Structure 1
Amino acid sequence: MCVKKSELSLEERAKIVGLYKQSLPKLSMRAIAAFTGYGVSTVFRTIDRFKKTNSLQNLPRSGRPTFITESDRRYLKLCALRNRRKTLDVLTEDFNLGRKNPISKSVVNRSLHSWGIIGRVACRKPLLSARNVRKRLLFAKEHVKWSKKKWGKVLFTDESKFDLFGSNRRMYVRRMANERFVNSCLTPTMKHGGGNIMIWGGICTKGVTRLKRIEGIMNKKVYHSILVHRAIPEGKKLLGKGFVYQEDNDPKHSSHFCRNYLAKKEKCGDLVRMIWPPQSPDLNPIESMWDYVDVRLRKNERTSKDQMWHNIQRTWNEVPKKVLRKYIFSMKNRCKAVIRAKGGHTSY
């Protein structure tokens, strides 16, 4: 009866190889196995290794044998995908319940990485209902074949808030190891951003509208005033009568007071209102424009709201037309991205 062992010693391997080399006539693998009491496969592997390496030593190994099986790896993958918000600590604790030999967080992490599952900060995107998804998909399918000429007739509008201190973006600095809390290496913060400026603006391929600084709370009356004195006159000046006016579905935009005014203007041929899908900032190229302005603003020190307002206006008015066209002509790709996502979120 064969004796089962995890690994043969060098003396035992030498005994097997010696029988193979010195026996006359040559003994078969089965005969050597019967004589030594080891399995035929063990004898074969020992002799085969000696033939290839002329050594009785083990071949170099990649490292310590893994603690988990392929089945364990699949189970870890399943647990991670069932609840994507579970932390590494919780995944490891759940997996080790009832196990005789618990594994570490590093083993769990490496196993998930081998499946391409990596912990990342979740993207912030608007909540989409089934109705929102259908409307986004319908809009994308209706506009994906629009030509550049058609997109060139659209005035894209929106409001944006600029904080005096702080930013949602990460700020990188170059510093030495012991300079983490040096003033020049810090991003100053204040509660509620230390104050902010709310701004309305519009863009098209021909240029930008004048910005409107919004004082106090922006309600339907303030927005109506912007429509009367800024949005429609600026749109007609840049694009001519009958331009396409885009706005999102913010409550102040969709109020009867403002919609009735736009309907009246549309009836007399001043503009054509674009029906915009809800929860779709990723479709609006002006969002990229606000980011463009914010990146350049951060190069200047912000000491007061008035100074920041001055810098915003200067940056806004200096935007090259090629940048405007790049953002606006990306509408085709934005629509394609929505169609690929079946109305869901995109990378824009």
Structure 2
Amino acid sequence: MPSENRNRTSVTLEDRIKAVTMCQQGKSFAAIGRELNRSKSCIKRNIDLYNETNSYNDRPRPGRPRISTAKDDRNLTASSSLVRKRLLANKLEWKVAVKKPRLSTKHIKDRKTFCKMVKSWPLSKWRLVLFSDEMNIEVDNRKNRICIRRTTAEKYNQD
């Protein structure tokens, strides 16, 4: 398999277990690599690690260990830089709030009425409808922006 199709992500626990199982069944490193879309050397490295440690987990990463634990982080009096680092570590990025229309009860009622009305339209009537997308573009208008910290998945959550 060409090398450009192989990914450089960390090998998942599931793939490590599969690789070790296939090796124990007598498959070659190259055959296992082709099946799991990994290089032969990656498969060999993971199987050697399993044989040394008898565990599927990674070795501990090098580097200075964190001073605070997750439990300590909940009760910290911390500097703004530490808070920023912890928020980014938890994937809470600085985002511009999405402008959402606030719907009143009347708006919701009117929308439902409209939907019920057009639900039964025939195809010939729908073909006469012109859909347009109007958009106001402001270049670099920063004064009206509201910035918040959210994960990408929380983009449209109501506050």
TM class, shorter-length = 0.3 to 0.5
Which fold has the larger relative contact order, with Cα–Cα distance below 8 Å and residues 6 or more apart in sequence? 2
- Greater radius of gyration (CA): 1
TM-score by structure 2 length?
A: 0.35
